[in-house]
Structure 1
Amino acid sequence: MTTDECYVLIRHSLTRHSSLAHSTFKKMEHFINNQRHTPDSGQYIEVINPCTAEVVGTCARGNTADVHAALTSAGAAFQTWKKQPAAHRVKLQHEAARLMRLYSYEIADMLARELGRPLAGCIHEISRSADLLDFYAEEALRMKGEIPLHNLEGEKALVVRQPIGVVVAITPFNYPITLLCMKIGAALPMGCTVVAKPSEDTPLSTLRLAEIFKEAGYPEGVFNVITGYGHEIGNALVEHPITSKIAFTGGTNTGKRIGALAAAHNKRVTLELGGQSPVIVCEEADLSVACPAIVKHAFANSGQFCYRVNRVYVHQNVYEAFVEKITALANRLKVGDPFSNSDMGPMVNRKIYQNSEVQVADALQKGGTVKTGGSRLTGEDYDKGWFFPPTIIADTNHSMKIMTEETFGPVIGVMKFSTNEEAVALGNDSEYGLAAYVFSGQLGTGLRMAEELEAGSVWVNNIHRSYQDVPFGGVKQSGIGREKGRYGLEAYTELKTIYLNY
């Protein structure tokens, strides 16, 4: 389906659901207890289209009073929600997934305007998020306890899992629906209730999602959304006595602060943090496979995601050919408005944009060579937005920020290596450990490297989306805990041992 066809379908969807269309781009309040909730402050935050600098909507600016209202609602709902049959909770989640697909074009249109990502990518995010909800729902029905075979007359020990309680889900701007569904999709069917806090850059799609969950039949207080600036309400969300767990995706420094604050109150956490993901391209690698995969992954969503390709280590004997191929592929990518068949949109805001600008300047100062891109796009189509082209920097080394710091933008560094042992050492020379990638014509070599690389996930000879049924998360400064699969569901439960005498 082309982007133009997607856009026609969006308009058709908005016409069919006219009441929803009129509510998409206007002042939106918190969503608490299944209804809109006026902010205690009476203040709102403008949501800006990063392509045009136009205001596409406003969201409530929350304060501690709003936090208390949302968590109180979730705490009251938990007392009844945790007692609902698992099959009932699963049925509601399947219905929510169905409605997400029904309204996918409307949500995607909203997301494209607040984030700037090409429309087709936004539609894919909604569809994939609905798939994740369905997977989690089915997996929840397969969760089990244990009865150890102690063989003691008149005694049994029962090991059961119980919902952890009220969950605070804090999500970033880059994949606001998917990253939220990674949390609520596991928490809700296990019997937890949720207060979500989306990024102030992309809150509208999350607020719309909450309305969809209400339509699906979720009771009052089970899924709430509060919006605002993180520094104003973040501590209150974490420290509030009703909060049992914090599930956070975002920057490492913020995650460490949340982790420290949660630890002070013995609250559970799942922290999916920053990444600086390496790729190793061995001498015998198939460049016709490696180069397209690396370019597609490095520049998806304008490089604004945590496990993207950030730095590439290429064997010296194929280095020149590799750089030539990925440069040619990057030059084919179209940067522009999300509704114009673009491959890449703008950066979401000035702060995120400046990461790329600073890292390019640093690399050039230290001897790097820009093969393509490297500076902000200008002209009539670009002047109002934060557009940065796909950028490849060759001749890099580990004195450069591009090889050591998270970029969160469409810039990659490329560096030579001479031995596989050197390549693994370079890949592990980072405080991060979220993802890594290896391309090798020898399967044994690829597997050995995958085992040695310090990362939560390693792809060998391809790069694709992480699967729904396997764990996702990082090591070192890239986080604590895992999401997806049964591992993600288990993270929203507490184990309890019951000693039964009869």
Structure 2
Amino acid sequence: MTNVDVLAAGVLKAGTLDGLPNGHFVDGAFTPSTHNKTLESYDPGRGEAFASFAAGSAEDVNQAVESSKRAFETVWRDTAPAERGRTLMKAAELIRANLHRLAIAESLDSGKPLQEALGDVGGAARTFEYYAGACDKLQGDSFPLAGDYIGYSIHEPVGVTAHIIPWNFPISTAARGFAPALAAGCTVVAKPAEQTPFTALMLAKILSDAGLPDGVCNVITGLGAETGAPLTLHPDVDHITFTGSVQTGRTVMKAAAEDITRVVLELGGKSPVIVLNDANRDEALAGVMGAIYENAGQICSAGSRLVIERGMHAGFVEELVKRAESLRIGHGLTRPDLGPVNSAAHLDKVAGFVERARAGGATIATGGSVTTDPETGKGWFYQPTIIDNASPKDEAVREEIFGPVLTVQIADDAEHALALANDCQYGLVAGIYTQDFGKAHQLARRIDAGQIYINEYFAGGIEVPFGGNKKSGFGREKGIEGLKSYCKTKSIAARIA
């Protein structure tokens, strides 16, 4: 066993991880809630509470925002870009130094398999490394005016930024928001999901240890109504980055409208994976499996709709069923192929979609039932499920299930596949499998989505901008586009003669 697996086994035996953060992180230190209330955090692999955390209030939020505003105005805004870069690079080093502990906390809190959590933490380190290198390269433009004039632009930090972090990728989403905001010279107030509070708190402490001044990154934990809502409504918040459901995204937009606060919204998805007859079959099979069963399908950009050309359909789905049925289900810390869903409420939601599909006559090719960890009989698990030959009108095809449930739609040809792919209220990502490179790029241009993967689902990295169209939201994270989200452009023109 590797060192991380030995540590994970000990945590699994103890039922908790020692030394988890206690309190909010404000002004460079852990502080209790003003009301001294706590909430329990649950291990989805067992369906049992394993730790408690601070239940914040509007008063806690106000203290955090005031702290971040003060730090922005007195310290961080005017810190030299190169110095900001050194701090973020040190944070990347510390994240890697704490890789095992962060990954175990992430797996225990979210339920995801340990190997996926290790990848997420590594990706978080890479995110800080990437934006550390961008701090002193955020350049403006000069404008070609007449000879008696000079014109140029500069990028300025927007100010205090609020980050509402989802439960499916806690440390990844925190990093892709924190790092560019801090690189641009903004300060951060974050509210992680109440289901997964710990790695955001641990990340804030790591940033402090890396030399980030007090107040530049604050984290408040608690329920959405008691902490998230006051944060999005706070008049001293200059920007909101939200990742979550469409319904909550609407609420965030309405709150932002009160003070004309800037927003970036990364919302739902129902992403298609197009497989054409000439695709490399083995590559496509592996891609489709990963697209829907990674993190038990709890990914905004999951490839939850297989749109497959008719000639490939029967044998491809038959093999998918075999592979799905061979997946090992288990607690995240045991490195299973498929971990649990995040909560009992979410398990009921996923099951409800499949039950309604079954009642409507859908063909359930495999799965379709709630289950448990076969070793313990505990946890919130759902079988890997495939709904074959689904209609574009089916609820399971049109709505985001956010679980290990794949719907299959049959296309007559590439044009039909394109029409099926675009027949959706969401437009986050799409995948294409074909050996005809010209056809792949033609489809990529015509699919209405923010990001397209060709012959490898989830291709790319922090360098590639990410965000959606239609009801998947707007604005971009990752890449230089993500950095610009935290900047306001100022244009300057002067007569010089």
TM-score range, shorter chain: over 0.9
Q: Are 1:6 and 1:119, in contact at CA under 8 Å, matched by a contact in 2?
A: no
TM normalised by structure 2 equals: 0.95
Structure 1 residue 464: Cα displacement: 2.7
**Counterpart for residue 306 of structure 1:** 300
Deviates more, 1:336-345 or 1:186-195: 336-345
**d(CA) in 1 for partners of 2:494 and 2:19?**
54
Amino acid at match of 1:491: S
Q: Alpha-carbon deviation of 1:135?
A: 0.7
Are 2:161 and 1:186 equivalent residues in the alignment? no
Pair 1:91–1:233, CA change in 2 (3 A) = same
Matching of residue 147 in structure 1 with residue 142 in structure 2: yes
- Show CA shifts across 1:405-437 (max 9, x none): 011100001121212222111111111000111
Instruction: Please give the TM-score of this superposition, normalised by the length of structure 1.
Output: 0.94
Alignment partners' CA distance in 2, 1:9 and 1:145:
48
* Equivalent residue, structure 1, for 2:267: 273
Which of 349, 355, 360 aligns to 2:349? It is 355
- 2:19 aligned residue: 23
Gaps of 5+ in 1: 14-20
Corresponding residue number in structure 2 for 1:16:
none
Counterpart contact for 2:249–2:267, Cα < 8 Å: yes
Cα distance, 1:9 vs. partner?
6.0
Contact 1:367 1:395 in 2 (8 A): no
Percent identical among aligned pairs is 33
Give the 5 Å matches for 1:363-382: 363-378=357-372, 381=375
Contact 2:120 2:172 in 1 (8 A): yes
Q: How far 1:11 sits from its partner (Å)?
A: 8.4
Q: After alignment, is 31-40 or 140-149 more displaced? A: 140-149
Q: Does 1:201 align with 2:195?
A: yes
**For 1:38-437, what aligned pairs fall within 5 Å after superposition?**
38-79=32-73, 80-153=75-148, 155-378=149-372, 381=375, 383-437=377-431
Aligned residue type for 2:201: L
Closer, same or farther: CA 22–422 of 1 in aligned 2, 3 Å: closer
Q: For each residue in 1:358-405, what CA deviation from the matched residue of structure 2 results, as whole angstroms up to 9, or x when unmatched?
A: 121122222222222110114763543111121111121123222000
Say which SS state the counterpart of residue 143 (structure 2) adopts: coil
Contact 2:134 2:183 in 1 (8 A): no
For residues 124 and 371 of structure 1, do their structure 2 counterparts lie closer, same or farther at Cα, with a shift above 3 Å needed? same
Distance 2:92 2:159 in 1: 23
Q: Deviations over 1:312-331 (max 9, x none)?
A: 11111221011111111212
Residue 429 of structure 2 aligns to which amino acid in structure 1? A
Determine the structure 2 residue equivalent to 1:6: 4
Tell me the SS of whatever aligns to 1:412.
Answer: strand
Whole-Å separation in 1 of the counterparts to 2:8 and 2:343: 25
- Contact (CA 8 Å) 1:310, 1:402: kept in 2 or not? no
What CA distance in whole angstroms lies between the structure 1 residues aligned with 2:152 and 2:334? 58
- Hey, what does 1:444 align to over in structure 2? 438
What amino acid does structure 2 have at the position aligned with 1:336? G
- Kindly state the Cα deviation for residue 496 of structure 1 after the two structures are TM-superposed: 0.8
Structure 1 residues 413 and 139: CA distance shift in structure 2, 3 A = same
For 2:25, what is the secondary structure of its paired residue?
A: strand
Give the superposed CA RMSD.
1.8
Shift of 1:453: 0.8
Indicate if the aligned counterparts of 1:311 and 1:402 stay in contact, CA closer than 8 A.
Answer: no
